[in-house]
A = this chain, B = another copy of it.
């Protein structure tokens, strides 16, 4: 693949609809701008203060949502240039859509476990994942 293609991270606001007995939280629709087909959905939990870094996907487009807790994400391009850092979670409820080729790391900011939901366009495939140690890039 050409890692220079489609390098844009897209941040979408998500609706939280007030419902008696418990709200409804939008996540993703197949008509959304960055929706690229459905491969797999999974949660990654991140404990308070824990850093998970660095990783990049060569094929997967991730759609990241944090319904519980709060998580800081940091994104770099392949030239090790910082693209973006963003905190999302219960209090900043957004979807972060990440095309392939981007290095990412994240930190749990909440006092309890934070839950990241990834709606991915392909199935989990270890051969399309690259990993580097935490020291590879600054956590800013």
| Interface residues of A, Cβ cutoff 8 Å to B | 19, 21-31, 37-47, 50-52, 67-68, 108, 113-115, 117, 119, 123
Contacts and interface: CB of A to CB of B under 8 A. Distances in A.
Given A38-B38, A68-B68, A115-B67, A45 B23 contact: yes
Contacts of A28: 40-41
Contacts of A52: 21-22
A52 B19 CA distance: 10
A48 to B, nearest CB: 10
Given A22-B46, A43-B24, A50-B21, A31 B123 contact: yes
Nearest to A28: B41
